Amino acid sequence: MESLLMGLDTLKTATANFSDENKLGQGGFGPVYKGKLFDGREIAVKRLSSNSGQGLAELKTEVMLVAKLLHRNLVTLLGFCLEEEEKLLVYEYLPNGSLDKILFDHGKRLRLGWGRRYKIIVGIARGLLYLHEDSQLRLYTGI
């Protein structure tokens, strides 16, 4: 668990102090920011809102479970931060954006051919199959 722990100062620097320019979007649990670590890796930092209802113990348990999920069709959790009042999850950055924007954004949807749509659907199915049958973990949230 210690190897997943990231410092708040590191993440503030990576995201330019969670600047609006680095904000990728707003999820159900809080905003997501793009960042760049000292080693050059691009990251996505999910800043959990204080009213998300998830306690510290539950969050730590979830981090440990999600960190073990390694599959090419799932975004990788790189780390987390629980300093001061912050609850931050750090994921690999995916430059093409989220699947919901690719599939449902009107402008992007028109440029997406059926062959590409099929590949996306197969990738989603493979990720779900891994979670359901192969991961050794049983996850029921966030899908």
What is the rounded distance in angstroms from the CA atom of residue 93 to the CA atom of residue 140? Answer: 24
Question: Can you read off the two tokens belonging to residue 6?
Answer: 């990231």
Question: Can you read off the two tokens belonging to residue 2?
Answer: 């210690």
pLDDT in tens, 64-86: 888 888 888 888 999 999 998 89
- Domain assignment present for 121: yes
- Domain assignment present for 140: no
| Per-residue model confidence (pLDDT) at position 9 | 98
Higher-confidence position of 100 and 35: 35
What is the rounded distance in angstroms from the CA atom of residue 1 to the CA atom of residue 43? Answer: 19
- Domain assignment present for 54: yes
pLDDT in tens, 41-67: 999 999 987 766 667 777 777 788 888
- Domain assignment present for 108: yes
- Domain assignment present for 139: no
Higher-confidence position of 41 and 29: 41
Write the CATH number for 48. Answer: 3.30.200.20
Question: Structural domain of residue 61, as residue ranges?
Answer: 2-134
**Mean pLDDT estimate for the chain:** 85
Measure CA 77 to chain center: 7
Name the DSSP class of 50: T
Higher-confidence position of 133 and 33: 33
What is the rounded distance in angstroms from the CA atom of residue 79 to the CA atom of residue 5? Answer: 6
- Domain assignment present for 142: no
| Per-residue model confidence (pLDDT) at position 142 | 52
- DSSP H helical segments within the chain, as ranges? 8-14, 56-67, 99-104, 106-111, 114-129
Q: How confident is the model at residue 135 (pLDDT cuts 50, 70, 90)?
A: confident
- Domain assignment present for 46: yes
- Domain assignment present for 21: yes
**Domain tally, the chain:** 1
Under 8 Å between Cβ of 14 and 27: no
